Amino acid sequence: MRDNPLHSFFQVMTGQIHDQLALGSYDWLVVVLAWVLFGAGLATAGFTWAKYPEQRTLHNAWVFLLRFVSAGMWYLGSLWKLPWPVAHGFKDWLTNCVTYSSFQWHADIMQFFLTNIALIQPVICLLEIFFAVSLATGLAVRFTGVVAFLFVLNLLVGLYNDPTEWVWTYVGICVAHGMFAADGAGQSLGLDFILRREKLFATGSAPARLHALLS
């Protein structure tokens, strides 16, 4: 039977895809996370659209849609890095980055990660969940765009010589997240806009300067 995006979305939101089922009795946790991400993203966008007339533009709606879909990508990417401490899929990915890397120095770094995979895998999984939360809600998106760009650039370098990969996939993801950073995509129907618009941090304070930098 042919699959389609609507059916796949239904499966994700009801915990029926392989990476969710593989968690056994804990699969409900990642289903709850999916609903939280989906609900928080839409609620934030809907609230911003309703309250602030200046946000009601095609540009803002389009930017929101792009980062919202990207949040779904990072959510799905985090699933196959479970369970901790070592998932076979993540181990295979690191092995390929050692084998097919563009540069020996990079392969050496990937080998260090592979040797210490039990420590590295939880960090990577949590980082990807952070990306998903940030992009879904529009919080600290400029920071997320930069870090995600570097994250995917590492994949591009590490898998450059893998005959089963099409490296332009990673180029495209890099470009998308680079644009999120350049555009400050959280200013489009996101928490970054609300925090700045409502001046929830005192002007000139450390939190205000930090948020201005991250958003």
Tokens in use for 155? 């994949």
Q: Say whether pLDDT at 169 is over 80.
A: yes
Chain-centroid distance, C-alpha 125: 10
Residue 202 DSSP class: -
Cβ 85 vs Cβ 118: under 8 Å: yes
Mean model confidence pLDDT for the chain: 94
State how far the Cα of 113 lies from the Cα of 107, in Å rounded to an integer.
Answer: 10
Average pLDDT, integer, range 110-128: 95
With a cut of 90, say whether residue 210 has pLDDT above it: no
- Provide the pLDDT confidence category of residue 181 given band limits of 50, 70 and 90: very high
Over residues 12-52, the pLDDT tens digits come to: 999 999 899 988 888 899 999 999 999 999 999 999 999 99
pLDDT at 151 over 90: yes
What's the confidence (pLDDT) of residue 175?
97
State which residues form the domain around 10.
Answer: 5-214
Residue pair 64/188 in contact (Cβ under 8 Å)? The answer is: yes
Q: What is the mean pLDDT of residues 184-194?
A: 96
pTM, full prediction:
0.93
Interatomic CA distance for residues 106 and 96, integer angstroms: 12
Q: How many domains does the chain have?
A: 1
Residue 167's nearest CA partner among 84, 97, 92 is 97
